[in-house]
Structure 1
Amino acid sequence: MKKVLMVLTSHQHLENTDSKTGVWLGEFTEPYYTFLDNGFIVVLASPAGGEPPVDPMSKLVEHITASNRRFHEDPDAQRLFSNTLMLDTLEADSFDALFYPGGHGPLWDLARNAISGKLILDFLSAGKPVGTVCHGPAALLKAAALQPGLLRGKRITAFTNAEEMLTGRMDHIPYQLESALKELGADFHSATVPFTTHVETDGLLITGQNPLSSGPTARAVIQLLGAVGELGRVDPLP
């Protein structure tokens, strides 16, 4: 049975406001159940361990999804979510894939976390897929700092500057993720219409643009693992 490590943010504070952020709930629940329903074991971790903060906006009625409702009726999933493992206790050797949900939180902690950055590099060097969605690709910034040139020419996506502006949080974040990825040489692509599904796969790196891309990004990871199983190791990123 394949095992995926899902890394969640521990950060909840936005800048210049009393509003909070954290994990975007649907970006956790949709991939979680996608992996679970396809026979995966899912292990949850975060930089601080314990229960990650959840962005209050992701709990609003207009953002409730079928996977969110399933989560609220699933005590086992709630227990795992409330007791995420400390990120520094885990190694790539124990897993088949790595996955980062979003929420604005990763812009702060996962983008600067050396343990997370090294873990990404360990997965890639071992020929194992790394999936990220929405603001989850912020974790790639630290990996690229540890291995300069990592993202140069890589076809990826993430929450766009246009989407950031439409959320009204532009003044409450430290930087725009799309711009930061482009500055590192990433070949950035996105959907023509904001907030619609878009996924990019480049080698072992799978990125999704926004909340609606969460399930498709997880499915792309699963498909890539199937290809790895049939064809042998995929060439890791340089």
Structure 2
Amino acid sequence: MGDNGAGKSTLTKVLSGAVIPSSGTIRIDGEQQQFTNPADSRRCHIEMVYQDLSLCDTVDVAGNLFMGREPMKSLLGIPFLDEARMHADAREMLKGLGISIPDTRLLVRNLSGGQRQAIAIARAAAFDPKVLIMDEPTAALAVAEVEAVLELIRRVSARGVSVILITHRLQDLFLVCDRIMVMYEGTNVADRRVSDTSLSDIVNLIVGEKFTARSAAAH
């Protein structure tokens, strides 16, 4: 959590290898890691769902799910896309996460906002991540679609995946989160268990820390 400009998105981009930090260390399972690109992060089983989803509207559902990791087969030593396997695996992937998409050959541009978000989450969750980072996954969704995405987050978490959720929808925190961390200007200023806090406490942490820091700077 944190106000605009607190550094939430930048932190997640550092963890996903999209931004190279100027200082500090990253440790995964106690071992120091250095990420210079998203591939480095993925090798450590960290996946990211960006706020803009990073989907290709002119590609079908299966193609988006396997983009960059397409299954291949060989004919006379020449590799080419195994389309039948890709669509079969895509259907199993969606079924395993309880995602209802009528046809994996549908172009992503023809899906609803909730379905698009589900595809982005499924793509990230499908390749056995240890950590799944989501940046504002419910920001532009209708109420019914928000609940569907939250249920998908619960399913992913139930698999043993650690989910980092960036959101301005404070009420969602009490539905899917165990811990709440509040940032201010790139610094972690609070770390609480959800069971030990309330909605008003979180608002005070976000707003109170901001005004406390400004007051201290002024004096």
TM-score band, normalised by shorter chain: 0.3 to 0.5
TM-score under structure 2 length normalisation: 0.33
TM-score, normalised to structure 1, is 0.31
Higher strand fraction (1 or 2):
2
